[in-house]
Amino acid sequence: MTPTLAGICIILGLCLMLATGMPIAFALGLAAVVGLFLDMGPGVIYVLAETMFAGIANLGYVAIPMFVLMGAIVAGTPAGGDLYKTLDRWLHKVPGGLVLSNIGACAIFSGMTGSSPATCAAIGKMGIPEMLGRGYPSSVATGSIAAGGTLGILIPPSVTMIVYGIATQTSIGRLFLAGVLPGILLTCMFMAWALYDARRKGFRFNTGSLRYSWRDKLATLPRVLPLLLIILGMLFVLYGGVATPSEAAGAGALLTLVVVVLVYRLFRMKTYVDVFGSAMRESVMIMMIMASAELFAFALSSLFITQTLASAIAALEINRWLLMGLINVFLLVAGMFLPPVAIIVMAAPLLLPIITQAGFDPYWFAVVLTINMEIGLITPPVGLNLFVLNAIAPDVPTQDILRGALPYVLVMMAAIVLLCMFPGIVTWLPELVMGAAVS
């Protein structure tokens, strides 16, 4: 069997298993085992465990469960609600202040969790009922939360950026900095579209219906500011070279736990059983996907599928921007079926030499790749944020959720075009703080 035919068979088998509803980690692992068994015979059993454990046996990955725990602490306690209330009270006089508060809360919450589904669930539980109660169209309410939730994998600290950095041997601190300005840009673009979308659907902004005194506005700040200071402190020690990402993540999770316990007087054990249980489930899911993706990548390499594909792409005598366009199409399609972590582990090491040979900056490409993964979070058939919204807002018809979320796909595509036209949006801040990257 030729590498091309073997690759087609494995991909078709993977798609078939995913279509049956099989968990992604199991589908990746089974497809890899079948491919390796056909190539190596029963002897494949001796490399399975070693390959999977090697895929996650990296000290840098310790940061992932720590950031997940940090997000679970905020999402599973009143801290997330206070963050939302604070933004709503300070922005209520701005036309469309509530929808802006939702997207802004998603952006800030993303910086605390690094997880898009967690952001979508935490802010959506509070924001969607509030928006519906104030007369916003259901598609605007759900669409803004679905899109805002995707910021969790772009705005630092980002789990996907950590995975990309380890998979491609690039600086995680520089990757975090590279995501800051694009994250702000995308947040502003989301806000602009949400305001336009609400107005074109007949909603009339009324800023006089609510009144918050200065006492109301200041009431939640003492509870929110310590959490924001933790995020700023983590970024400072990362970029100042004081701590590694794993150390910063561990310290951040511990400080978040201490702040939440002291500020909210949460001394019931059940609260922390739920928080740690949620964090453990998500962390194990991510690590299982990474281990299975490593085995899948090993299978593709052993069958010379990746080498054949890389050679074929390298042999294409086409303009480098056309090449980037083809890569973006591949990432968009892959993002519709696979989670960001799986795609990065499998595709980033393969694509990195191709894009660097074509003259593209690897940190710029990391942001473009991440935005493509964001698009996959709100596009069928496996749009994770859509499923989260469907669960937390069962009264909103699925077609309304889709109608609200899909226009943001075009907004993110426009952001990718802007980054292609002005790559300095990505590279300026890392170069300012850390100097030029060593190639």
Half-sphere exposure of 264 (CA within 13 A, CB side): 24
Where residue 366 falls among pLDDT bands split at 50, 70, 90?
very high
| Exposed/middle/buried for residue 285 (C-beta within 10 Å: 0-12, 13-18, 19+) | middle
- 248: which 2 tokens? 């910063």
> Scanning the structure block, which residue is given the tokens 């959506």?
124
Buried b (16+ CB within 10 A) or exposed e, 35-69: bbeeeeeeebeebbeebbeebbeeeebbbbbbbbb
Percentage of the chain lying above the pLDDT 90 cut: 14
Contact 49, 33 (CB under 8 A): no
Where residue 413 falls among pLDDT bands split at 50, 70, 90?
very high
Mean pLDDT for the chain overall: 82
Q: Which residues contact 379 (CB under 8 A, 6 or more apart)?
A: 335, 336, 406, 409
Q: In the predicted model, is pLDDT for residue 207 greater than 70?
A: no
Of 84-88, 102-106, 332-336, 352-356, where does mean pLDDT reach its minimum?
84-88
Determine if the peptide bond prior to 157 is cis (ω within 30°).
yes
What is the reported pLDDT for 426?
95
**pLDDT tens digits, residue range 298-338?**
887 777 776 676 677 667 777 889 989 988 888 888 887 77
At residue 372's C-alpha, the angle toward residues 247 and 7, to 5°, is: 100
What is the reported pLDDT for 381?
67
At residue 79's C-alpha, the angle toward residues 73 and 82, to 5°, is: 160
Distance in angstroms (rounded) separating the CA atoms of residues 278 and 61 = 18
Q: In the predicted model, is pLDDT for residue 439 greater than 60?
A: no
**pLDDT tens digits, residue range 211-266?**
777 787 788 788 888 888 887 887 778 766 677 778 888 888 888 888 888 888 88
- 246: which 2 tokens? 């794993």
| Exposed/middle/buried for residue 118 (C-beta within 10 Å: 0-12, 13-18, 19+) | buried
CA distances from 358 to 30, 217, 330, 351, 353 (A): 34, 52, 17, 11, 8
Half-sphere exposure of 270 (CA within 13 A, CB side): 0
